Amino acid sequence: MDNERDYRAEYEALLKQYEEDKKREQEAPKDFEAEYENEKREKRSKILSSIMLILFFAMIPTLLIGKLALDPLTLLGIAFLFFGLIIFTVTLFNEPILAVSSLILFTASAVLTFRGNPMMIFIVIPGVFALSLLSTTIRNTKPLIKLLCKMKPLKKSCTEKVTAICINPNQRDRDDLLKEKIEVIPYCKLVVKRKGSGLNTKTSYRTEFVYTLFSPVYELDYYGTKYTLCDNYYGIIGTEEGESREILINPENPQEFYDVKRYRKDLWQILKTIPAIALIIMMTIFIGITVFIVSNYHYLLG
C-alpha cells in the first residue's frame, strides 16, 4: 500500500506540473511583432532574390540581341543600366548608401555612354570600389560616434577609481536585444588570424559581424555599502565572471560608472573596422580618373 501511495502521489505531482506548464505556455504572450518582422524579412529577401535573377537572366538575351542590332556604345550603356540595377537590388537593405549611389553612378555612365563617351567604363570600376568603402565607412562610423557620445559625460562625472568584481558576464544574442528594442552600438569587429611561425607567419584580416554582445554586471563594496552595477551598454568586449576590474564611479552616485578598459577596447575594435586609408586611396583614384577623362575627353577620342 505504501508503494502504491508513493506512485500515485508521484503521478499526481507530474500531472499537476504538466497542467501548470501547459497553462503557462497558453498564457505566455506571443511575440507577434518579432514573428511579423521575421516573416517580412524573409518575404523581402525572396522578392529581392527573384528580382536579381530576373535582371540577370534578362541581361544575357538583351546583350546577345543587342550585339546584332545595336552599336557597341549603346550596348555598353545597356550593360551599365543592368549592372546598376543588379547592385541596387542586392545591396538595397544592407547597404542603402552603396545601393543608391551605385545606381546613380551606373545610370549617369549609361547616359554619357549613349551620348558617345566610351571612357566611362574606366570611371565605373574604381567608382564602385570607392562607393563600397564609403558606405562601409559611414555605417561603421555611426557606432563609433555613439560610443564616444556615451563616454564623454561619464569621463566628467566619474572621477573616483575603485575595484569591482564581475558577478555576471551578461552575454546576450544581438537579435534578442533588437527584438526587445535595446540599442545595440557595435555592428562588426576585425578578426586577425595568424598561421605558422617566424618568417613563415601568415596573417589574415577579415571583418566579422557581431552576434554576441556583453553588458557585465559588477559588484562593488563602497564605504561598507554593496552596489550592483550594470550600465546596459552591450558591447563587443566582455568580462569573465569573478574577474576584478578597475572602474571609475561617480562619488555622488556610485551606480553611475565608467568602465574604462571595456569602452576603450570596444572603441579600438570599432575603429579598426573603418577602412579610412583604403577609402582615401580609392576616392583619390576615382576622382583623379574622372577629372582626367573629363578634362581630356576630346583629346582621348581623337
151-177: pLDDT as tens digits: 999 999 999 999 999 999 999 888 888
CB 54 within 8 A of CB 86: no
Summarised one tens digit per residue, pLDDT across range 113-129 is 887 777 778 888 888 88
Tell me, yes or no, whether 218 lies in a domain: yes
Residue 151: the pLDDT is 92
Rounded distance between C-alpha atoms, residue 289 and residue 277, angstroms: 18
Tell me, yes or no, whether 25 lies in a domain: no
Radius of gyration of the chain (CA): 29
Please tell me whether residue 167 adopts helix, strand or coil conformation. strand
Residues 247, 167, single domain; the answer is yes
Residue 30: the pLDDT is 47
Rounded distance between C-alpha atoms, residue 10 and residue 15, angstroms: 9
Residues 129, 193, single domain; the answer is no
Catalogue the long-range contacts made by 295-298 (C-beta closer than 8 Å, 24 or more residues apart).
297/117, 297/119
With a CB cutoff of 8 Å and minimum separation 6, the contacts of 120 are 80, 109, 112, 113, 293
Residues 63, 150, single domain; the answer is no
How many domains does the chain divide into?
2
With a CB cutoff of 8 Å and minimum separation 6, the contacts of 122 are 289, 293
Looking at residue 86, the DSSP 8-state letter turns out to be H
Residue 217: the pLDDT is 94
Tell me, yes or no, whether 128 lies in a domain: yes
Tell me, yes or no, whether 196 lies in a domain: yes
Residue 122: the pLDDT is 84
Residue 157: the pLDDT is 93
Rounded distance between C-alpha atoms, residue 89 and residue 69, angstroms: 28
Residues 183, 91, single domain; the answer is no
Residues 230, 126, single domain; the answer is no
Domain that holds residue 178: 143-271
Exposure class string for 58-92: b at 16+ Cβ within 10 A, else e: ebeebeeebeeeeeebebbbbbbbbbbbbbbbbbb
Residue 1: the pLDDT is 46
For the chain, residues with pLDDT lower than 70 are 1-42, 44-45, 48-49, 52, 56, 63, 66-69, 190-194, 196-206, 297-302
Residues 199, 240, single domain; the answer is yes
Residues 58, 172, single domain; the answer is no
